[in-house]
Amino acid sequence: MTRTGRAGAIAAAVMMCVTLFGVRATGASAEAAIVVAPPTTVDEPAADAPRFYAEEVVQALPESQTADAASLAELVETMPADAPLSRDLQSLAEAIYFEARGEPLAGQLAVGAVVVNRTTSGRYPSDYCSVVTQPGQFSFVRQGRIPSPDENSLAWSNARAMAQIAHRDLWQSAAGEALFFHARYVRPGWARTKVQLATIDSHVFYR
């Protein structure tokens, strides 16, 4: 190869290197110029655009615990007189009858409330029959047996109605959360350790 040919070949090689270097440099610069943009946000819909909402969940309300009656006596009249009672409600009615049949309706309801409160207190049996027949609790119970009421009397009819009212919590009793009571003419020793809540007719109620 002549000297001129060699010079031409060298010049061509130099030009190729410059071209390749320029291409690589341009690529690096482009890569360095890439910017990671923040996440795009969703534009708010126009004011007149339709909006969609999740369907509202409506829960069924619990059975009403209040009665639409002007007085306790009126509520008693609305109770089904001949409806059969379960054995448990029968025991509740019997407790009301034997402990408070001579009391006004408020006193009868208070006695019923004590029996109901005991079943939910965790300190006594959880059913009315067992609460009423528990030894040493109610004086009318004899050897675990409840006497038979006079089923043809108005007192028994009222006791049946009162048992349903107390069981369903249809009327608020002044006895509140009472778990104990005694007649006003006696003063048992245990009463000194209890909180007195109310005196209703001839009974005193405690928690």
State the residue range of the domain holding 150.
72-179
Q: Say if 38 falls within a structural domain.
A: no
- Residue 97 is assigned to a structural domain of this protein: yes
Is residue 173 in a domain? yes
Pairing mode of beta strands 203-206, 180-183: antiparallel
Tens digits of per-residue pLDDT, 16-31? 433 434 434 333 333 3
| Domain count of the fold of the chain | 1
**173 vs 110: CA distance, rounded Å:** 6
Q: Tell me the pLDDT tens digit for each residue of 140-179.
A: 999 999 999 999 999 999 999 999 999 999 999 999 999 9
**CATH code, domain carrying 106:** 1.10.10.2520
How large a percentage of the chain has pLDDT more than 70?
68
Does residue 61 fall inside a structural domain?
Answer: no
Q: What is the pLDDT of residue 83?
A: 87
Does 34 reside within a domain?
Answer: no
Give yes or no for residue 205 having a pLDDT over 90.
yes
Residue type, 18: V
Q: How far is CA 206 from CA 63, 96, 125, in A?
A: 29, 17, 19
pTM above 0.85, yes or no: no
pLDDT tens digits for 46-103?
444 443 333 333 333 334 445 589 999 999 999 998 889 999 999 999 999 999 999 9
Cβ contact 158:70 at 8 Å: no
Q: Is residue 198 in some structural domain? A: no
pLDDT band at 2 (very low <50, low <70, confident <90, very high): very low
Asked whether residue 142 is domain-assigned, the answer is yes
- The better pLDDT of the pair 187, 33 is held by 187
pLDDT value of position 82: 83
- The pLDDT assigned to 1 comes to 53
Residue at 91 is within a domain:
yes
Query: pLDDT band at residue 186, thresholds of 50, 70 and 90?
Result: very high
